[in-house]
C-alpha cells in the first residue's frame, strides 16, 4: 500500500460523493450537483468516473476499466493502474469477475449481475445542452418535465436523414420521469441500460452525478412511426465470429482492406478461448494475435 489515503480521495470528499450517489439513486436520472475535485488527470479523461469509482471502491473489490470496450487502451490502463497504486485493489479484465467496472462509451456485452457496479465517464451530462444553451432554462425544463425539445432534435434527424441518425448518446427517459444522457454509448447499448447492476454516472468537469438503480425502466425516445432501433455494423466479428456484439471497424491497409471485431475485448477473447472463430481469426487461442 502507498502513502495515499485509500483510493486517493480523502474520506470527507468520498462521503460527499456518496451522498450525491445516494441522492442520484433515489431520483433515477436526476443530475445531482457535487463538488468535483481536481484529479491528477485532465478533464475529459474520466475525472468524474474516477471520483465515483474512488467513492464506491472497498478493499475487497475487484476493479475493471474499459475504454470503448477495450481493457488495453491508454485511458483504461492508466486509470486501472491509478487505483492499483492508490487503493491497492485487485484488478481484472474479465467482466464476470469484476465487482466495479469503470467504463468509457460502452456497456460490456456480458450481462451484469446484482453485485456489480458500472461507473460511466460522462463528458456532457445535460441531454438538452445542444438544444438549449442556458443551464437555468434546462434545469427548469427538467423540473417541469418539458421535454418537447428533445423530440425536435429527433424530428430534425428524420427530416434531414430519413431516419433517426443519432447513433450515440441517444436520449432516454428513466422511470417515466427524467430524460437522461446515457453518456456517449452507442445506441446499440441502450437496451442494456435496464440491467441488474447499479449504474452510476460521473461528470467531473460539469460537476454532476446521476444514477440508474437496478431493474429501472429506461425507454429510448422515439416516434410512433419511427421507433427506436439499436444498430451495429451488419457483420460478424472477424476474430470470434460473434453476431450479437458491437463491432469496431479497422482499416488494415491502404488498399481498403478492413476487418470488423468486437469492441468488447474481454467478450471477444473469452469467445476465442472457448473455441469460437471468425473469418480472419486463428482457431487456437494461444495463436491468436
Q: Any idea which residue has 474479465 for its cell?
A: 94
Q: Which of 24, 204, 240, 277 is catalytic?
A: 240
Nearer to another protein, 175 or 222 (CB): 222
Q: Which of 197, 202, 268, 269 is catalytic?
A: 268
How many chain residues touch another protein (CB under 8 A)? 15
Nearer to another protein, 41 or 158 (CB): 158
Our finding on whether 91 is near another protein (CB under 8 A) is: no
**237 catalytic, yes or no?**
yes
Nearer to another protein, 59 or 133 (CB): 133
Our finding on whether 226 is near another protein (CB under 8 A) is: yes
Q: What is the DSSP string of the chain?
A: --SSPTTSS-HHHHHHHHHHHHHHHHSTT--EE--PPP-SS-TTSSHHHHHHHHHH--TT-EEEEEETTBSSSHHHHHHHHHHHHHT--EE-S-GGG-SEEEEES---SSPPPTT-EEEEE-S---TTTTT---HHHHHHHHHTT--HHHHHHHHHHHHHHSS----BS--EEETTTEEE---S-BGGGGGGGS-SSEEEEEETTTTEEEEE-TT--EEE---SSS-------SS--TTT--SSS-EEEEE-STT--EEEEES-HHHHHHHHHTT---TTS-SSGGG--
Our finding on whether 12 is near another protein (CB under 8 A) is: no
Nearer to another protein, 153 or 205 (CB): 153
Our finding on whether 136 is near another protein (CB under 8 A) is: no
Q: Which of 29, 197, 202, 281 is catalytic?
A: 29
Q: Which of 237, 272, 277, 281 is catalytic?
A: 237
Q: How far is the CB of 2 from another protein (least distance, A)?
A: 50
Our finding on whether 225 is near another protein (CB under 8 A) is: yes
**277 catalytic, yes or no?**
no
Letter string b/e over residues 92-126, b meaning 16 or more CB atoms within 10 A of that residue's CB: bbebeebbbbbbbbbbbbeebeeebbbbbbbbebb
Q: How far is the CB of 225 from another protein (least distance, A)?
A: 5
Our finding on whether 224 is near another protein (CB under 8 A) is: yes
CB atoms within 10 A of CB 233: 12
**262 catalytic, yes or no?**
yes
Stretch that binds another protein, among 75-83, 165-173, 183-191, 223-231 (CB under 8 A): 223-231
Q: Using CB under 8 A, which residues numbered 144 to 183 contact another protein?
A: 144, 146, 148-149, 151-152, 155-156, 158-160
Q: Which of 24, 49, 262, 281 is catalytic?
A: 262
Nearer to another protein, 225 or 287 (CB): 225
Q: Catalytic positions, please?
A: 29, 237, 240, 262, 268
Interface residues with another protein (CB under 8 A) are 144, 146, 148-149, 151-152, 155-156, 158-160, 223-226
Amino acid at each position: 500500500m502507498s502513502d495515499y489515503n485509500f483510493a486517493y480521495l480523502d474520506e470527507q470528499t468520498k462521503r460527499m460523493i456518496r451522498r450525491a450517489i445516494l441522492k442520484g439513486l433515489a431520483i433515477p436520472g436526476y443530475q445531482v450537483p457535487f463538488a468535483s475535485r481536481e484529479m491528477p488527470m485532465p478533464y475529459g479523461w474520466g475525472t468524474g468516473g474516477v471520483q465515483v469509482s474512488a467513492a464506491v471502491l472497498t478493499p475487497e473489490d475487484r476493479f475493471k476499466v474499459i475504454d470503448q470496450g477495450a481493457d488495453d487502451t491508454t485511458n483504461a490502463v492508466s486509470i486501472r493502474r491509478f487505483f492499483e497504486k492508490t487503493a491497492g485493489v485487485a484488478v481484472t479484465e474479465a467482466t464476470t469477475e469484476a465487482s466495479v467496472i469503470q467504463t468509457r462509451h460502452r456497456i460490456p456485452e456480458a450481462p451484469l449481475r446484482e453485485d456489480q457496479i458500472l461507473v460511466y465517464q460522462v463528458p456532457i451530462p445535460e441531454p438538452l445542452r445542444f438544444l438549449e444553451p442556458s443551464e437555468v432554462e434546462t434545469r427548469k425544463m427538467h423540473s417541469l418535465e418539458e421535454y418537447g425539445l428533445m423530440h425536435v432534435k429527433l424530428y430534425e434527424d428524420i427530416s434531414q436523414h430519413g431516419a433517426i441518425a443519432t447513433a450515440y448518446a441517444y436520449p432516454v427517459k428513466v422511470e417515466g420521469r427524467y430524460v437522461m444522457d446515457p453518456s456517449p454509448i452507442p445506441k446499440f447499448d441502450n437496451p442494456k441500460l435496464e440491467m441488474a447492476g447499479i449504474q452510476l454516472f460521473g461528470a467531473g468537469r460539469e460537476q454532476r452525478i446521476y444514477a440508474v438503480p437496478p431493474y429501472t425502466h429506461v425507454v429510448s425516445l422515439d416516434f410512433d412511426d419511427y421507433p427506436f432501433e439499436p444498430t451495429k455494423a451488419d457483420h460478424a466479428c472477424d476474430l470470434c465470429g460473434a453476431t450479437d456484439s458491437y463491432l469496431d471497424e479497422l482499416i488494415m491497409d491502404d488498399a481498403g482492406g478492413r476487418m470488423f471485431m468486437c469492441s468488447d475485448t474481454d467478450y471477444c477473447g473469452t469467445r476465442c478461448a472457448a473455441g469460437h472463430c471468425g473469418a480472419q481469426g486463428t482457431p487456437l487461442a494461444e495463436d491468436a494475435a
